[in-house]
Structure formats: C-alpha cells, structure tokens
Amino acid sequence: MGFKNELISWYRNHKRDLPWRNSTDAYLIWLSEIILQQTRVEQGMPYFLRFSEAYPTVKDFATASEDEILRLWQGLGYYSRGRNMLKTARKVMTDFDGTFPTAYADLITLTGVGEYTASAIASFSNNEAKAVVDGNVYRLLARYFGISTPINSTQGKKEFQALADELLNKKNAGEHNQAMIEFGALQCKPKNPNCEVCPFISSCFAYKHMQINVLPVKLKTLKIKERYFQFYIISNKKNQLIIKRRNNADIWAGLYDLPSIEFENAELSIPKPDNFTNWFKQTPIISAVSDQVKHILTHQRIFANTIEIDINAHDVIMQEGWIWVDFNELKNYGMPKLIFDFLKKIIN
C-alpha cells in the first residue's frame, strides 16, 4: 500500500476525537499547540477547554490581563508560554487586524511560535505543505528507517526534517502530519509499543534488528540542579497571609509565591528563627512545620517545606513586594503548583 497510504489508513481508523481536530480555526489550533508543548494530551485537555471557554476568540484572549492568563495556566509549568501567548494574541490584534494568521511565513513571526508550531498550525488550518517533526515523529522515523543520528543534534534535526519533508503528502499535508504525530503517540510509543499489531511490522528497521529500545538516539546534555527552600506562611488574626510576586529572572517568573529563603543544602528541614528575625519586630512563634516535599522541574529538583507563623500584622516588617491577601482571595492569584498545594487547606 505504501508508507503514506498505510499511515493515513491507520489514522482514520484509530485517531482520537480531540476538540481542536474538529476545527480549522487557527486560533484554537494555536491554543492547543502551545498548551500541548511539553504536556501530555490527557493533562492538557482540561486547560484547552478552560482557555477556549474563557477566551473563545483571539480578541478575548488579547484583552485578558497577564494575571488572568497565569491563573488559568496554573499547574502547566513553563509559565513563559502563557505570557508569550498574551503577547502573540495582542500582536495578532495589531498586526493582523484580529485575524489569526494561517500562513507559515506569518506564524513564524509570532512570539513563542517556532518552526514546529508554525508548521503545525499552517498545515492543520490551511493544509499548507509544511512537514511537522515533534518527538512522536522523530521516534517513528528513527525506528522505521533505522536512523541513529541523535535527534537533538544539529545534524539530526536537519536529517529528520529533510526526511519528513520528503515523505509529506503535499496534497493532504494537514491529515498526513496529524497521522504522523498520532501514530507515534498511540502506536509507536516510547516504551513497550505493541509491534505485533503495527501495520509497518514487515518493513520496520528497528523491529527487524531488535532496536526498538535503542532508537531514537538522544544526546544526554541535561544537568539537573537541586535547590532547597523554606517557604513561610505568615498569617494574622484577620485571616490574611503574605504573598509576593516572583521576578522574571528565575523559575515561576511573574507568579506569586510566599516569603522564602533558599539554602545550599538540606538544612532547610530544620527551622531556624535566626534566619528570618529581620522580618519581624519581635521573635516570631512557629506554629507548624511541614514535611519536606520534592517538586520536579525539567532542569531542577526543588526540595521545600513550609513554616507557619501566626503574628500580628503590625509586628511584621514588610519587605519589598510583600502584600497581605485575604485567605478567600488566594484563588485569584496565579501560583506555582508547589505553592498552591502548600496552601490548599487555606484556599479551600
């Protein structure tokens, strides 16, 4: 039947019914593509539904505030994506008269839209002949054709893109790209793919040569940094606590968290009032100390616990950026998932 026809046949029989696939609206496709970057479909689906309901058009999105966007984004990670989306929506309003572009040449000019995302939106919304290459496509191509060039090397990126371009069904680019991605996601999975029911079993290099667990090859370049924090839940008798907005030079940029101290090692598990007495006019009383938790980010491992302090507001020496917030208003502030989890008992 040939690779392209076999692929399309499989896709039409096995594809998932995803809401963004039922539309050629470039705005909704963009919304789904940005949300699904670094995010599984199962995790991203509720966010897509939440955003598309709150902001059904790019104009609605463009008029939102950054705090509103980050609040809806809470828990997805990579918060710069949310901020870049707001920049893009506003650029669409000013530079494209409020109509979300469908041409690759226009899409690639938008903030946060790289080659893959521009190709995906252009092909899905306008059937433009641009081949998409994501992790699923890398895996399928590497295994089927037996390519051992590292997928995260400069040469690998060029090689895989060239092959994807060559394979592209230019008359049916959108469906072909969807099929390539879906096949990698559902059939040619990273671990334990069900090769016995794969339509390409007779022609797959990796299956023939028992390299399913070897391909694709990826260079190990990631260095994990460990960081240790104590976060302080400082509350008063008026059911208020102190939060602060994080700066843009570190993790969770622009979100709100709690007053904190970062340590060089695991000594954070031992609360030491001397570390933060400059925040108070009198020695504070620690009412509770939480267990340490580990929070995993792509490049970092965060180890953190909380120290609860009850004190009169007038005994606090407010630091730069600190604000008092009513307990029942905390849900209105975008926070990292780690902080949100710490405060659940207060927020609820």
Which CATH number goes with the domain that contains 48? Answer: 1.10.340.30
Same domain, 183 and 232: no
Higher model confidence: residue 283 or residue 121? Answer: 121
Nearest CA among 132, 144, 138 for reference residue 178: 132
Phi first, then psi, for residue 235 (nearest 5°) are -125, 160
Instruction: Write the DSSP string, 173-193.
Output: HHHHHHHHHHHHHHTS-SSS-
Q: Round to whole Å and give the CA distance between 71 and 331.
A: 8
Residues 48 and 183 in one domain: yes
Last-in-domain residue among 208, 238, 255: 208
238 and 202 inside one domain: no
- Domain stop point among 175, 208, 241: 208
Residue 303 φ/ψ, nearest 5 degrees: -110, 125
Same domain, 197 and 266: no
Average pLDDT, the chain: 91
Same-domain pairing of 162 and 267: no
d(CA 203, CA 83): 45
Q: For the segment 208-258, what is each residue's pLDDT rounded down to a tens digit? A: 999 999 999 998 876 889 999 999 999 998 899 999 999 888 899 889 999
In this structure, the answer to whether residues 76 and 147 fall within a common structural domain is yes
- Give domain status of residue 219, yes or no: no
CA distance 132 to 183: 13
Find the domain containing 55 and state its range. 3-208
- 175 and 229 both lie in a single domain: no
User: Is the pLDDT score of 152 beyond 80?
Assistant: yes
The answer as to whether 216 is a domain residue is no
Is residue 92 domain-shared with residue 119, that is, in the same domain? yes
Phi, psi at 93, each rounded to 5°: -70, -40
Same domain, 193 and 262: no
Question: Per-residue pLDDT averaged across 197-203, rounded?
Answer: 94
124 and 165 housed in the same domain: yes
Burial of 260 (0-12, 13-18, 19+ CB in 10 A): middle
Q: Name the active-site residue from 6, 33, 226, 308.
A: 33
Look up the CATH number of the domain holding residue 246: 3.90.79.10
Does pLDDT of 202 surpass 80?
yes
Alpha carbons 32 and 125: distance in angstroms, whole number: 12
- C-alpha torsion angle, residues 28, 29, 31, 37 (rounded to 10): 160
Both 101 and 203 in one domain: the answer is yes
pLDDT at 53 over 90: yes
Tens of pLDDT, residues 60-104: 999 999 999 999 998 888 888 999 999 999 999 999 999 999 999
- The answer to whether residue 270 sits within a structural domain is yes
Q: How far is it, in rounded angstroms, from Cα 74 to Cα 72?
A: 5
d(CA 112, CA 83): 9
Indicate if 33 belongs to the active site. yes
pLDDT of 269 strictly over 70: no
Domain boundary at 182, 208, 234, which?
208
Domain count, the chain: 2
Q: For residues 36 and 45, is the Cβ–Cβ distance under 8 A?
A: no
308 and 195 belong to one structural domain = no
Cα–Cα distance measured from residue 68 to residue 331, given in angstroms and rounded to the nearest whole number: 11
Task: Please report the pLDDT score of residue 2 as a whole number.
Answer: 83
Q: Which two tokens stand for residue 111?
A: 């903030």
